């Protein structure tokens, strides 16, 4: 069976590279599951009650009036959902989620060359580490592997650091985080594409050279390694880290609701350990969050922090602070929106992909204890953004591998605009 062969290969790779993963009896299967986008219309409360009563998973939170919910429905509950949700307009995102996952997860063996073919498919976690090492090996005089602490299970939070003609530790830093939420595989690849493009074009593209000479880059494609490994060995749709919770059998904290910035503000996270947006028992009690925050602050103190980007999927959004409140924005909000407007125009110019933009809270939803608010308010980053990458719901988290390279290319166009226009 395809799942079994993938699982066996992944476990073998993990063992060979001393990656720490959990022993699990079987992979969560989604055979026969449907994913439906359900328009709430004026009956958001009714739709949310149906979802709650049937204990269904949603991919993007609860529905709002005029909005929608992307609902994952197991075969055993499909008839009940159809009966109770009669009258709601639906769009099928995945007719059979298990088939979509199987098609997406057909990893190809890494050829050992850090070139553009890497972006033709998704990869096992061990291969991501090898790719970063190979990228450094191809550019030994201006890059190195860097770590930002360790995860719950003891996996290093691994990234790549690179610099220009002035040498390392001199210029202001740019920091990217990918795969904060474990199931958002496209963010891993897009973060890696930014590193790949900047390093491989440094010697031939004057604009790229000017950016790398002006800033120093720290790119962490997977800041939630335990969760990412779990999506590849056990449950493709896992979101949180793999931290146990006292008094609960439910596992994990949402790393992007755990940062010590407006963590105690109500309404932007969950206090239920079983929820996907669980904020933790106290702020910064996830080791990943603690390590990442300390790294940002260390970099800021040592060389300045020009730009922070936290990469997510899906929804095609380009967002600025704040997430914790919808009634306040940074003093430089006008500049933020000008930059975001220019960046989404640059993204659209590549393939026609449309991103919306604005502050987190008013653009998508209230989110407390998030990394962008922390980077801006606490670490003192001059600019901090979060992007939600492709798509807007046709595939959701299970984005076909054919969209990896286009996602990376158009994201680079947005990043390029920021690098050229930040003051």
Active site residues: 388
Q: Cα–Cα distance between 144 and 159 in angstroms, integer?
A: 9
Beta-carbon count within 10 A of 92 CB: 10
Q: Cα–Cα distance between 72 and 78 in angstroms, integer?
A: 10
Burial class (CB within 10 angstroms; exposed 0-12, middle 13-18, buried 19+) of 247: exposed
3-state secondary structure of 200: helix
**Contact criterion met (CB below 8 Å) for 420 and 210:** no
Q: Cα dist. 56→20, 34, 92, 267 in Å?
A: 31, 11, 16, 21
**Contact criterion met (CB below 8 Å) for 365 and 61:** yes
The torsion angles phi and psi of 34, rounded to 5 degrees, stand at -110, 150
Whose tokens are 């967002």? That residue is 319
**Contact criterion met (CB below 8 Å) for 369 and 262:** yes
Report the Cα–Cα distance between both ends of the chain, in Å, rounded. 54
Closest CA to 121 of 412, 341, 405, 419: 405
Q: Cα–Cα distance between 250 and 239 in angstroms, integer?
A: 13
Closest CA to 235 of 5, 406, 7: 7
């Amino acid at each position: 069976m395809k799942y079994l062969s993938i699982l066996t290969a992944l476990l073998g790779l993990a063992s060979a590279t001393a990656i720490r993963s959990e022993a699990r009896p079987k992979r969560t299967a989604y055979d026969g599951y449907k994913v439906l986008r359900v328009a709430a219309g004026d009956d958001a409360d009714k739709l949310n009650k149906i979802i709650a009563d049937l204990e269904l998973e949603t991919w993007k939170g609860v529905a709002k009036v005029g909005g929608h919910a992307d609902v994952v429905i197991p075969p055993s509950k499909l008839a009940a959902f159809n009966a109770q949700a009669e009258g709601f307009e639906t769009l099928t995102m995945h007719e059979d989620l298990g088939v979509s996952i199987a098609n997406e997860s057909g990893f190809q063996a890494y050829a050992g060359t850090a070139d553009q073919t890497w972006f033709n498919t998704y990869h096992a976690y061990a291969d991501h580490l090898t790719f970063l090492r190979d990228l450094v090996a191809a550019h030994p005089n201006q890059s190195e592997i860097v770590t930002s602490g360790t995860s719950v299970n003891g996996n290093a939070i691994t990234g790549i650091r690179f610099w220009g003609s002035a040498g390392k530790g001199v210029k202001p830093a740019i920091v990217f985080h990918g795969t904060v939420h474990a199931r958002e595989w496209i963010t891993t690849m897009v973060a890696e594409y930014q590193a790949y493009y900047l390093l491989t074009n440094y010697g031939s593209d004057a604009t790229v050279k000017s950016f790398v000479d002006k800033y120093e880059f720290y790119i962490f494609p997977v800041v939630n390694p335990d969760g990412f490994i779990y999506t590849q060995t056990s449950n493709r749709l896992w979101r949180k880290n793999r931290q146990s919770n006292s008094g609960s059998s439910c596992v994990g904290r949402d790393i992007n609701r755990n940062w010590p910035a407006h963590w105690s503000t109500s309404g932007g996270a969950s206090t239920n350990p079983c929820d996907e947006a669980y904020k933790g028992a106290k702020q910064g009690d996830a080791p990943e969050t603690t390590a990442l925050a300390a790294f940002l602050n260390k970099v800021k103190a040592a060389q300045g922090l020009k730009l922070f980007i936290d990469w997510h999927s899906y929804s095609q959004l380009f967002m600025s602070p704040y997430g914790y409140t919808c009634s306040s924005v940074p003093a430089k909000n006008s500049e933020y929106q000008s930059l975001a407007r220019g960046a989404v125009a640059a993204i659209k110019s590549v393939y026609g992909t449309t991103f919306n933009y604005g502050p987190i809270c008013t653009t998508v939803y209230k989110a407390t204890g998030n990394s962008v608010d922390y980077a801006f308010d606490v670490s003192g980053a001059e600019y901090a953004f979060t992007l939600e990458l492709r798509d807007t719901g046709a595939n959701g988290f299970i984005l076909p591998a054919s969209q990896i390279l286009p996602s990376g290319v158009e994201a680079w166009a947005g990043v390029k605009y920021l690098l050229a226009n930040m003051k």
